A and B are shown apart, each in its own frame.
Chain A
Amino acid sequence: MEIVLSLGIGILAASGVWLVLRPRTFQVIIGLSLISYAVNLFIFSMGRVTLDAPPILAPGGIGDPTKMADPLPQALVLTAIVIGFAMTALFLVVLLAARGRTGTDHVDGREAE
């Protein structure tokens, strides 16, 4: 379980980094999305990996912390997803504006010599 999760995060982050370093804006935006997926999974895993445990207490009474997932990272991931989504949308607009203005999709706004 842990090894699958960490491999997943690693592959997502590595692919993301490789794509961010590519010269085309579309590759960069896909790379940024992959990195944000990796980061979201990473935040989630920082609350420790628990199986079949809800992040809420049973009504009435103090719950057993070992039978419960950490709710805080889940809240953090939710926030991070929303912010990441908004930023991707914003960058998409800039990307299209750059394509329209410079006539190329190179990240420097001009083709490499």
Chain B
Amino acid sequence: MRSPVDHLVIAPILLPLAVGAFMLLLGERRRRIKMALSLGTVAALLVISMALVAIANTPVGDRWSSLIVYPLGNWPPPFGIVLVADRLSALMLLVTSILGCAALVFSLARWHRAGPRFYTLFLFLLTGLNGAFLTGDLFNLFVFFEILLAASYGLVLHGSGTARVRAGLHYIPINLVASSLFLVGVSLIYGVTGTLNMADVGRMVPALSSPSLVLFEIGAGILGVAFLVKAGMWPLSFWLPTTYAAASTPVAAMFAIMTKVGVYVILRLFLLAFGEEAGAAAGFGAEWLYFGGLATIVFGAIGVLASQSLQRLGGYSVLVSSGTLLAAIGTGNSAVISGALFYLVVSTLAICAYFLLVELVERGRQAGADVLAVSQEVFGDPDDEIEDEEDEVGVAIPATIAMLGGAFVACTVLLAGLPPLSGFIAKFAMLSALLNEAGSIKPDDWAFVILLMLSGFITLVAMSRSGIRALWVPSGDEIPRVRAIEILPIGALLFICVGLTILGGPAMRYMEATAQVLYWPQVYAQDVLGTGAPVRVPSEAAP
């Protein structure tokens, strides 16, 4: 019998999908019900993902981790589609739901009224993200990618306005072409290996010989390009800063996780198919990831330095972050990857907080407010007028500027990786892993070490400069009116980052265990396919 706990794995997909679909039936005017429903959903997602992290982190017997394999429709893998919740998936789910909570609470202040069907699109985006993190099947991954992309197309245009439509005009075709590449890659891999289950593909790779291996590598390369477009690797990333800068605030904050989906899939598939046990194919594409990641850091750092607006600076910080992650994956060193996982969590939370913060800082400068006003004119309902009035008055928190400034400093410290906060721990973990490797350092690794420090320094310079311009220079602007509901999510995100500093030890151990498991793809394959050691696959799943 399947234990009831196993059903938790499907909940992060079904819950937002069902609630989001139900909310389509409610009219645009019934905002309070929708607000309550979506808040309840994201809160439930947060609890579920915490539970999944706890389960994945509990060792079973002498085994490293207890991953839950959930065969959909009870067909035994590899014939049926499976969902797999292991440490990495659970971690990504948790980060997603934290971001979801923060962005949704922030949007309740005003952004949710800037366009139709915001809640439904938002929940569908969460459905797609959770599904992409949980699925153990390549084609299913494509389907979840399309769900999250379709929702993101809608969300990019949320709030309307010419800048957003223009950004969407680039964002959508690029992702459609990337999806085509995705399909070509998946079908090539299916043509060679005859399976779509990720664990099964990983098990097949060492057995492939010359002609099929070449075809497999071509398929994996094409698939990789599709994910690198999403992750924003250098030559494929020109769409990213414009889109993120144009998107409305809560959407941009939520998009902080979107590039990480690409990074997640690359991390998982690369180590599964081309890890050390892959025989002739071991390490395929590692140099591309490594040098591509370095180029992305350089491009992102130059962009950070050159940005005029705070939103674009955030977009380029996203690039620096994904470049660092890609280069870390390219090193193929499990200690570096465990540091990189820590960095992933911290940088995602910090960038999310930054995007939310930027709007509040900009509000006092009367920039970008016109777009919001126009869209509210178009989409606002007559019965909103009373609410609007309250809204515009807002509650002027005393010492607003001090709070915004403090949060901005915290974001800067986190993104630059300076000592007091957890950004430093993440960078330190990566650097010490790079420098301690068997006494000698490869010349290639020096490039990463130098770029890691340099990008932190550049982020510090650029963010201090724009912070001074935005917060300190007396320009005669009024003090931004900030509501408590808007500052709350930012505070919570930064609080989590501080918490990660204090609980750095346990968190780092979790990341190390995650990275170790990733390096044993054959064990993962056995666990998923149930041909080896005891796994928690329900017995009724046997054919």
- A: which residues have CB within 8 A of B? 20, 25, 28, 32, 35-36, 39, 42-43, 46-48, 72-73, 76, 79-80, 83, 86-87, 90-91, 94-95, 97-98, 101-102, 107-109
Contacts and interface: CB of A to CB of B under 8 A. Distances in A.
A95 B188 contact: no
B375 to A, nearest CB: 12
B187 interface: yes
B150 A86 contact: yes
Contacts of A97: 157, 165
A98 B173 CA distance: 14
B184 interface: yes
Interface residues of B, number: 26
Contact of B173 (A28, A76, A101): A28
Interface stretch (B175-183, B383-391, B478-486): B175-183
Contact of B190 (A28, A72, A98): A72
Most chain A CB inside 10 Å of its own CB: which residue of B139, B169, B179: B169
B162 A87 contact: no
Contact of A43 (B150, B153, B173, B187): B187
A83 B143 CA distance: 8
Contacts of B187: 42-43, 46, 73, 76
B157 A39 contact: no
Nearest to B188: A46
Nearest to A46: B191
A109 B173 contact: no
B176 A107 contact: no
Nearest to A33: B176
B143 A90 contact: no
Given A76-B187, A102-B165, A109-B166, A94 B180 contact: no
Nearest to B219: A46
Interface string B186-208: 11101100001000000000000
Contact of A35 (B162, B165, B180): B180
A109 B165 contact: yes
Nearest to A99: B165
A74 B139 CA distance: 13
Interface in B115-141: 139
Contact of B183 (A39, A91, A102): A39
B172 interface: yes
Contact of B153 (A83, A94, A108): A94
B191 A91 contact: no
Contact of B184 (A28, A39, A73, A94): A39
A96 to B, nearest CB: 10
B168 interface: yes
B173 A32 contact: yes
Contacts of A36: 180
Given A36-B180, A76-B139, A101-B162, A87 B150 contact: yes
A60 to B, nearest CB: 19
Given A32-B176, A43-B187, A72-B190, A83 B170 contact: no
A47 B187 CA distance: 9
15 contacts: A32-B177, A35-B180, A42-B184, A46-B188, A46-B191, A72-B196, A73-B190, A76-B186, A87-B176, A87-B179, A91-B172, A94-B168, A94-B172, A102-B162, A109-B166
A111 to B, nearest CB: 13
Interface string B266-291: 00000000000000000000000000
B146 interface: yes
Contacts of A32: 173, 176-177
B157 A94 contact: yes
A63 to B, nearest CB: 16
B183 A43 contact: yes
Nearest to A40: B183
A83 B196 CA distance: 19
Contacts of B157: 94, 97
Contacts of B176: 32, 87, 91
Given A46-B187, A83-B143, A109-B162, A90 B150 contact: yes
Contact of A98 (B153, B169, B183, B191): B169
Contacts of A48: 191
Nearest to A44: B187
Contacts of B153: 90, 94
A102 B164 CA distance: 11
A43 B181 CA distance: 11
Nearest to B139: A76
B180 A39 contact: yes
Nearest to B79: A72
B190 A102 contact: no
A94 B183 contact: no
A48 B177 CA distance: 24
A87 B165 contact: no
Contacts of A73: 187, 190
Nearest to A94: B168
7 smallest beta-carbon distances between A and B, as pairs: A46-B191, A109-B166, A43-B187, A46-B187, A101-B162, A39-B180, A98-B165
B172 A90 contact: yes
Contacts of B172: 87, 90-91, 94
Contacts of B188: 46
Contacts of B183: 39, 42-43, 80
Interface in B431-490: none
B169 A87 contact: no
Contact of B177 (A35, A79, A90): A35
Contacts of B169: 25, 94-95, 98, 107-109
Contacts of B143: 79, 83
Contacts of B186: 76
Contacts of B173: 20, 28, 32, 91, 107
A25 to B, nearest CB: 7
B211 to A, nearest CB: 15
A80 B186 CA distance: 12
Contacts of A20: 173, 177
